[in-house]
Amino acid sequence: MLEIKNLHARVEGREILRGIDLSVGAGEVHAIMGPNGSGKSTLASVIAGKPEYEVTEGSITLGDADLLELTPEERAAEGLFLAFQYPIEIPGVSNTYFLRAALNSVRKHRGEPEVSMTEFMKHIRSKAAAMDMDQAMLSRAVNEGFSGGEKKRNEIFQMAVLEPKIAVLDETDSGLDIDALKIVADGVNALRSPERGFVVITHYQRLLNYIVPDFVHVLVDGRIVRSGGKELALQLEDQGYGFLEEELAGQARS
């Protein structure tokens, strides 16, 4: 479903991604792990189309769509969702208005009719209830004054409302205590389905205890250096990223 081939990208003239290949099928959960500065968040930003990143080589496709040819909003309409590492506060715009504008934009792009207000409210109320979210949060301004945990929960809630084909979670676990982590993970697990793929970016293995991946990839220095099953994450937890970096250094010497 999501195909990334030989992706090279840079920001401010510095090359961060140096040839990424990744294929995420429907129903699969892929974890991307790696040390700080390895390019994990850059990968998420490039997939979503953040303007300051420049792709110099390679391709990203979602189904038939060439994502690199599309604006961020068109990518969303194609079914891509990015859960931000640092969700943005937008004082003055309520969650409800924001989500309805988003949902209707996506529907319009797909040639579907706008949802009525009644339908929409029913839709988001049920999603909020499933996320154990306070209904009062719906009328509050987007992320304004939310705690770290509330912001992350709001990201997953938005994902539930927009029902994407592919969701990229950028360090959704960062800054969460264990209770908040569980809530967020439950939210993600509830959205797992045979039609939907996930890319879960994380520095720590901890999150993967709750969102169990089908595949684990290790990103070092802008490249995926190792791919495996969920046991790879456990090995990294035990041994740290050091052993991989040493192996790589060894390969480079030989």
For other proteins, which is the closer residue by CB, 53 or 241? Answer: 53
Tokens of 147: 């705690």
Strand partners, 11: 14, 53
Q: Which run of H or of E encompasses 92?
A: strand 90-94
Site string for other proteins, 84-103 (x = CB under 8 A): x--xx-xxxxx-xxxxxxxx
For residues 152-181, which are near other proteins according to CB under 8 A? 158, 162
For other proteins, which is the closer residue by CB, 158 or 202? Answer: 158
User: Would you count residue 73 as binding other proteins (CB under 8 A)?
Assistant: yes
In angstroms, rounded to a whole number, what is the distance separating the alpha carbons of residues 244 and 237?
12
For other proteins, which is the closer residue by CB, 49 or 187? Answer: 49
**Is 206:181 a contact under the CB 8 Å cutoff?**
yes
Shortest spacing between CB 95 and other proteins, in angstroms: 10
Out of 141, 165, 209, 226, which residue is the one contacting other proteins (CB under 8 A)? 141
Distance from the first to the final alpha carbon of the chain = 36
- Other Cβ atoms less than 10 A from the Cβ of 218: the count is 23
Shortest spacing between CB 130 and other proteins, in angstroms: 19
For residues 32-61, which are near other proteins according to CB under 8 A? 48-51
Shortest spacing between CB 81 and other proteins, in angstroms: 8
Q: Which run of H or of E encompasses 5?
A: strand 2-11
- Nearest CA to 135 among 94, 181, 183, 90? 94
Contacts with other proteins by CB under 8 A lie at: 48-51, 71-73, 75-77, 81-82, 84, 87-88, 90-94, 96-106, 109, 117, 139, 141, 158, 162
